[in-house]
Amino acid sequence: MTSPKPKTIQTMKPETAAKKLGVLLSATPAEFQAGVVSRGELNELQSTPPAWLADLRRNGPHPKQVVAAKLGVSISGLTRGGITGPLTTAEIDALKAENPAWLERERSIQAETRKEALRLKQR
């Protein structure tokens, strides 16, 4: 008979944890950036976020995948529109209010892409 292996703790790099949390790693506290994050710690951060995480999620700066989602465009659309870095919530709101031509165009492209994906899924 073999003895059961002791359960190992799953850990991840801070970059991976920040991506899963939807925050920019460079904006997180130094102790978060320096250590490793276990799966349990990540679950705890997601279920009861500390003040720094709640503030980052609310005000930013946001990574490009979050910026793209908030604007309703793809990450490639952001790049085509000239947005290459992180944006704060205020900057995102200003872009929405301004509604430049590139943003309208990218939103329509994204809507068409979603419609096509739905059509193919229903086949």
Q: For 8-45, what is each residue's pLDDT tens digit?
A: 778 889 999 999 999 999 999 998 898 888 998 999 99
What's the pLDDT band for 94 if we cut at 50, 70, 90? Answer: very high
pTM value is 0.76
Q: Is the pLDDT of residue 87 over 90?
A: yes
Compute the distance between CA of residue 99 and CA of residue 64 in angstroms, rounded to an integer.
18
Q: Is the pLDDT of residue 1 over 60?
A: no
User: Locate tokens 């920019």: which residue?
Assistant: 24
Token pair recorded at residue 100? 């430049």
* Share above pLDDT 70 across residues of the chain, in percent, rounded to a whole number: 96
Digit-coded pLDDT (tens) for 55-81: 999 998 999 999 999 999 999 999 999
User: DSSP per residue over 28-88, as a string?
Assistant: S-HHHHHS-EEHHHHHHHHHS--HHHHHHHHH-PBPHHHHHHHHTS-HHHHHHTT--S-B-
φ, ψ (nearest 5 deg) of residue 93 = -60, -40
Compute the distance between CA of residue 117 and CA of residue 119 in angstroms, rounded to an integer.
5
